[in-house]
Amino acid sequence: MTFKSLGPSAAAFPTPTWVIATYDKNERANVMTAAWGGIVNSNPPSVAVAVQPVRYTYENILVKREFTVCIPSETQVKEADYFGLISGRDEDKIEKAGLTAVRAEKVNAPYIKEFPMHLECKLTDRMNLGSHFVLIGQIIDVKAEEEILDHKDSIEIQKLKPIIYSPTDRSYYAVGGEIGKAFTAGKEIKDKKS
């Protein structure tokens, strides 16, 4: 294999297509698309999202210190993309997209009712990395539509159909099928006699 050096860039795969929902100082709901984010702690469960300080969302999170991370499904790609095209300072994005903001149960932040799941988060930490601030949110609760749950109340990725963002071609992709069980698929190599 021949590797070509491409220089430093924010190219890693997969990145999510998440929608961060907040209230502004006047309790007006706003949403923004975020691809720079991931789960960063198990106990307490925590998520990191990287938000540029110029975003209205950043201002809102610093004021309210609470937010939700809403996860849209494949069919909602237009709405998810639109939320990243304009600021909530200039437009009521949720109304224009024909979606519904509902107050979350455990945090002072809205969620998008039509999206299949959301994480209710409290801001616990913040780090300036340059262009973006990493905001750490402790996940207070996870809410999921019943239709995406299996019989053990576990979220099924094939029913959720989350949107993958590819930062190199700036395009959205769907999730493919299962290719193996984690902590199991590798056992064949682990148990191989050398």
Residues in contact with ligand FMN by CB under 6 A are: 17, 30, 32-36, 50-52, 55-57, 81, 84, 86-89, 132, 165
Nearest CB to ligand FMN, comparing residues 58 and 117 = 58
Nearest CB to ligand FMN, comparing residues 140 and 172 = 172
Separation between Cα atoms, residue 6 and residue 25, nearest integer Å? 43
Tokens encoding 179: 């290719």
Nearest CB to ligand FMN, comparing residues 46 and 57 = 57
Q: CA 2 → CA 5, 7, 168, 181, distances in Å?
A: 10, 15, 20, 30
Least Å from the CB of residue 66 to ligand FMN: 15
Least Å from the CB of residue 147 to ligand FMN: 25
Separation between Cα atoms, residue 20 and residue 9, nearest integer Å? 24
Instruction: Determine if the peptide bond prior to 162 is cis (ω within 30°).
Output: no
Least Å from the CB of residue 36 to ligand FMN: 3
Least Å from the CB of residue 33 to ligand FMN: 4
Residue nearest to ligand FMN (CB): 84
Nearest CB to ligand FMN, comparing residues 98 and 177 = 98
Place of tokens 């601030």: 133
Least Å from the CB of residue 109 to ligand FMN: 13
Nearest CB to ligand FMN, comparing residues 11 and 185 = 11
Separation between Cα atoms, residue 69 and residue 76, nearest integer Å? 15
Separation between Cα atoms, residue 113 and residue 99, nearest integer Å? 7
Sign of CA dihedral 38, 97, 175, 45: positive
